[in-house]
Structure 1
Amino acid sequence: MGHYQHLLLIADPTLHQSPASLRAVALAEASGAALHVRAFAEPEPVVRLWEEKIDEAGYQRYMRRHRRWVAEETQRLGDLGLEATVDVLFTTHPLLDILKTVEELGPDLLIKDASLEPLLKRVFITPLDCHLLRECPVPVHLVNQVRYGLPHRVVAAVDPFDPSTQISGLNDTIIQTANALALQCDAPLHLLYAYDLSPAFNGDAPLVSGGWGMDVVEELRESLHQAFVTLAERYAIPPERRHFVPGPPVPAIGDFVEQYLADVVVMGTVHRLGIDRLIGSNTERALYSVPGSILAVR
């Protein structure tokens, strides 16, 4: 993947400047990409014939606010020297219209603020961000917070364990996507593998009980480490930027991000075939628990 050519920014619903807009502008300036800004708003108020009073003034205010935002945003981006298009789409089905926009524009990257919904709400309603992670055909950059416009540290989170169940080529796609972002930001690329040995034992024989000898555990760990090293060497990742850490992926990634002040973690939305493909991937869980921002690839 070379320099970005087209970036799609999903504007904050309030039409205010946001972390995602700061990131999108910085990436467009660094790469020379065209920036397409789209706001997906609730449909304008409907005037019903049976209502006694027609709030024509409210309707006009609503429309003027969005037209003014388009004009001001177009002017602002133009003053920054960016090639940009700005538009508002009124919709009751934002996911469908976002996917349609992606199909029409063919961006290299979709950038959006992460909507951190409360847990109780997520139990009953699947957030828009999770739908985008599952269905968007291009990489999705969900921006949680921005210390800098351009990322200073980019992390590719890979999983070379058990290639027979992996989505073919996903680790390579993750690294290539992360490397493209790092190159355009002049940022170092780190490679992270948070390995968890417990799935290999299916929970049937706890290690502490002696059901599995420590030599078997160490042998498995060494095989995972060798697979990680092989992957890192294929992409010439220097040893000081290789991180082989134990623990369940999401907590381990979160700890790593905090320790190294990583700005973006690049992850795959689905890593494996079969039962591990069940809804609720590590990427979706990381969205709500890992500090910093996520760039997800399918």
Structure 2
Amino acid sequence: MSIYNNILVIANVNHDEQPALARAMLLAKKSKDISHITLFLSIYDFSYDMTSMLSADEREAMRRGVIHQRETWLKNVAKPYIDDTVDFTVKVVWYNRPYEAIIAEVFSGQYDILIKATRKHDFLESVIFTPTDWHLMRKCPVPVLLVKNAEWEKQSNVMASVHVGSENEIHHSLNVKLTEQLLSIADYLDATPYLVSSYPVTPSNITLELPEFDITAYRDAVRAHCLTSMKELRQSFGIDDEQTIVEEGLPEDIIPKQAKQLNVAMVIIGTTGRTGLSSIFIGNTAEHVIDKIDCDVLAIKPEGYISPLDPNQSS
């Protein structure tokens, strides 16, 4: 299966090192077809728009000059990464909201994947100023690969977090999509794929409200259901039992734990694209996980997901 032939890479404006571009080249070299990589940067300087002594044409000329400088810089920093096996372009736009500019480019360029280097977000920043990474995970219509490590080791492990205990059809279809991505990535990287799922801990205080409730029997039943569902999923894709894990606990705890134990190069996770107040107070599992693990994260949307920034949707 040939995927990721049209790759959008978000430039790291603060450093010459471009780990996201390195990752894009690794994926491109694994493709059977010639891949196209676009190195993208959104820039904005408020002072250029507030210079009242300049005319609109003069301000526009200044913006074009800054864009040209950045394009030249991007081409130079890309040289150590790019070779003639890929079709490579650089694009710089002037826009004051980077995530909106990025997603607009995703739609206009019909990309297969978005790749961006990431960093740990501190708590206050994450609550008050939603990071670009979070916006992309919630609203980008294509898979988002957030890069943390500079290199992938050969014969790495790759892990997908699935929700096998749910009866929700959206979760079922997302599990299939995540597993397909897992096997494709594993094939790309000659990696070993693992499926990991968690189920919630039964509250111990439930026996206070329902004395007749058999908490052990209930926990065993939940685990048995998850194990059966995991077996059905893995067998449908020909995955060995040794490559599946079902564990009790919250996904934001189990995913980082298993990622470390399995020494994975990438965690593939589904994200619902929750926005608004629910995203602030509840959040998505992907957002809770990303700062707890040291490997790359590939965030996948459910089938049929429609981005709130889709230009084809009526306002």
Whether the TM-score (by the shorter chain) exceeds 0.5 is yes
Answer yes or no: is 1:112 the counterpart of 2:116: yes
Q: Which amino acid aligns with 2:292?
A: S
- Counterpart of 2:37 in structure 1 is 35
Summarize the Cα distance change of 1:197–1:166 in structure 2 as closer, same or farther, 3 Å threshold: farther
Contact 2:207–2:215 (Cα < 8 Å) also in 1: no
Contact 2:158–2:267 (Cα < 8 Å) also in 1: yes
Q: Share of identical aligned residues, percent?
A: 23
Summarize the Cα distance change of 1:271–1:37 in structure 2 as closer, same or farther, 3 Å threshold: closer
Cα shift readout 1:130-174 (whole Å, capped 9, x = no counterpart):
111111100111112234277822111101113137445110011
Q: Which of 285, 292, 295 is residue 295 of structure 2 equivalent to?
A: 292
Q: Which amino acid aligns with 1:82?
A: V
- Counterpart of 1:254 in structure 2 is 256
Q: Which amino acid aligns with 1:89?
A: V
Offset, 1:77: 5.2
Contact 2:139–2:273 (Cα < 8 Å) also in 1: no
Q: Which amino acid aligns with 1:127?
A: P
Q: CA RMSD in A?
A: 3.2
Summarize the Cα distance change of 1:291–1:71 in structure 2 as closer, same or farther, 3 Å threshold: closer
Q: How many residues in Structure 1 have an aligned counterpart in Structure 2?
A: 288
**Stretches of structure 2 lacking an aligned partner (at least 5 in a row):** 302-315
Offset, 1:60: 9.8
Contact 1:190–1:242 (Cα < 8 Å) also in 2: yes
Answer yes or no: is 1:281 the counterpart of 2:284: yes
Q: Secondary structure of 1:156's match?
A: strand
Q: Which of 265, 268, 277 is residue 267 of structure 2 equivalent to?
A: 265
Offset, 1:261: 0.9
**Stretches of structure 1 lacking an aligned partner (at least 5 in a row):** none
- Measure, in 1, the Cα distance between the counterparts of 2:70 and 2:2: 35
- Counterpart of 1:23 in structure 2 is 23
Q: Which amino acid aligns with 2:158?
A: V
- Measure, in 1, the Cα distance between the counterparts of 2:251 and 2:13: 32
Q: Which amino acid aligns with 2:300?
A: V
Moved more, 183-192 or 101-110: 183-192
Task: Please report the TM-score for the alignment, with normalisation by the length of structure 2.
Answer: 0.80
- Measure, in 2, the Cα distance between the counterparts of 1:38 and 1:50: 31
Superposed, which structure 2 residues align to 1:118-267 within 5 Å?
Answer: 118-148=122-152, 152-164=156-168, 166-198=170-202, 204-205=206-207, 211-267=213-269
Offset, 1:110: 0.5
Offset, 1:193: 1.1
Q: Which amino acid aligns with 1:255?
A: K
Contact 1:6–1:109 (Cα < 8 Å) also in 2: yes
Q: Which amino acid aligns with 1:18?
A: Q
Cα shift readout 1:7-43 (whole Å, capped 9, x = no counterpart):
1101112252233222112111222421111012224
Contact 1:37–1:86 (Cα < 8 Å) also in 2: yes
- Counterpart of 1:11 in structure 2 is 11
Q: Which amino acid aligns with 1:285?
A: H
Q: Which amino acid aligns with 2:128?
A: F
Contact 2:10–2:116 (Cα < 8 Å) also in 1: yes
Task: Please report the TM-score for the alignment, with normalisation by the length of structure 1.
Answer: 0.84
- Measure, in 1, the Cα distance between the counterparts of 2:233 and 2:176: 8
Q: Secondary structure of 1:289's match?
A: coil
- Measure, in 1, the Cα distance between the counterparts of 2:12 and 2:44: 13
Contact 1:3–1:184 (Cα < 8 Å) also in 2: no
